[in-house]
Amino acid sequence: MLASLLLILSLPHAELGPRPGYLTDLLPEGDLKQQLSACLQQPAKRHPFSIGHRGAPLQFPEHSKASYLAAIRMGAGIVECDVTFTADKQLVCRHAQCDLHQTTDILLRPELAAKCSTPFTPASNGQAASAKCCTSDISLAEYKSLCAKMDGVNLQADNLTDYLNGSPDWRTTLYQQCSAPLSHQESIALFQQHGVMMTPELKAPEVAMPYQGDYSQQDYAQQLINEYKAAGVKPSEVWPQSFQLADIRYWLKHEPEFAKQAVFLDDRVDAEHYDPAHPEQLSPSFSELKAEGLNIIAPPLWVLVSVENGKLVPSAYAKAARAAGLQLITWSLERSGPLAAGGGWYYQSISSITSDDSMTLQLLDVLAQQVGVIGVFSDWPATTTFYANCML
């Protein structure tokens, strides 16, 4: 890890652009604004605290080569490939196995659209428009022929063109000129070329497993690790993730070196019965997870903070996880769009004090300085790179 960190910090300056300054200007007067303002003219370098969430999808089509290169240029020290598989059992970078209808132009390719699990149906008589196109519907070669697009569809559309034009208006389509989607192996090669670390997420299959009768979940989890081994990537440069504890446990047993940095994405907190005041009720407990060999747990942003007397503070979850010896990563900054209306799902525990985009940096500061997270996923890594260079 130290060698990788030294390599990262020796690389050329990151390109931060105007957004860090824009967010800093919005901050209320105080120490944080003064400290960050003083750093605005300083050069920044790549930093492992800054994790490119699907690349840089605030403006670039997620999991595309263009999105990854944007994240790398903005100084992300770690970049994410969400991993799923094609009909010929090849691993590719896609947020979900069945999101091609909303993240690529597959519906505009008649020969490939015909292979989709569910064809496009326009909105009619109160029924929303729909389609379902999966990586497992097509081969790797067919997947590679697609163009990535900004995520989103218009469920009220009565025609295909309007259906595909459904990305939120706070994202831009300026950079979606047939950006190439990548296979997992291609993402590894790209990240190696640019000297960044890698965080693949093994996505939950949306087809019955074992797939085609002979491809089990364990085969899938092992294939992900095998592709790093084949490329000569050191375990210290890989942070494999999963929402499924069974995947984490498989890596702990069969790939202990790679599992040292395995990240359990904790969505148990999104269950209806979760009580933020009593995270000790989660099962397995933090101590039990640590005893199994887990070192890193990653809940969403809102889980790690709460509001006391009008101020951001670490949550009970954050304190309990740290007390059990777990390290923390969190997701995903700058995915909510403008924060004037409370920030939505990612900010739900602090919506009462979230009134503008300055909360992006205020939250980041509490996460880094008080919660003690070791990394933050962001849809625009320049922000986390800037903060890390200035404050860490």
pLDDT (0 to 100) of residue 143:
98
| pLDDT of 133 | 98
Question: pLDDT value at position 11?
Answer: 57
Q: How far is CA 197 from the centre of its chain?
A: 14
CA dihedral 244, 247, 252, 256 (to 10 degrees): -130
* The pLDDT of residue 12: 60
Residue 202, SS3 per DSSP: strand
Per-residue model confidence (pLDDT) at position 13: 85
φ/ψ of 132, rounded to 5, equals: -150, 110
Which one-letter DSSP state was computed for residue 166? -
Task: Determine the residue type at 178.
Answer: C
**Across the strands, what pairs with 134?**
none
| Total count of residues recorded for the chain | 392
pTM of the model: 0.96
Answer yes or no: CATH 3.30.200.20 is held by domain 2-97+179-391. Answer: no
CA atoms within a 13 Å half-sphere pointing along the CA-CB vector of 124: 6
- Residue 10: predicted pLDDT: 53
DSSP label of 269: G
Over the chain (392 residues), what is each successive 10-residue block's mean pLDDT? Answer: 48 88 98 98 96 98 98 98 98 98 98 98 97 98 98 98 96 91 98 98 98 98 98 98 98 98 97 95 98 98 98 98 98 96 97 97 98 98 98 98
CB atoms within 10 A of CB 352: 10
pLDDT of residue 2: 46
What residues contact 190, with CB distance under 8 A and at least 6 apart? 65, 68, 69, 182
pLDDT of residue 9: 46
Supply the pLDDT for residue 8. Answer: 47
The amino acid that residue 98 corresponds to is: C
Place of tokens 């070192």: 295
Question: How do beta strands 305-308 and 311-314 pair?
Answer: antiparallel
Cα 62 from Cα 55, distance rounded (Å): 6
Domain boundaries defined on the chain: 2-97+179-391
Closest to 92 (Cα-Cα) out of 192, 177, 178, 187: 187
Tell me if 317 sits within 8 A of 269, measured CB to CB: yes
Give the largest Cα separation in the chain, rounded.
61
CA–CA dist 305, 368 (Å, integer): 11
Contact 116, 163 (CB under 8 A): no
Instruction: Tell me how far apart the alpha carbons of residues 369 and 373 are, in angstroms, rounded to a whole number.
Output: 8
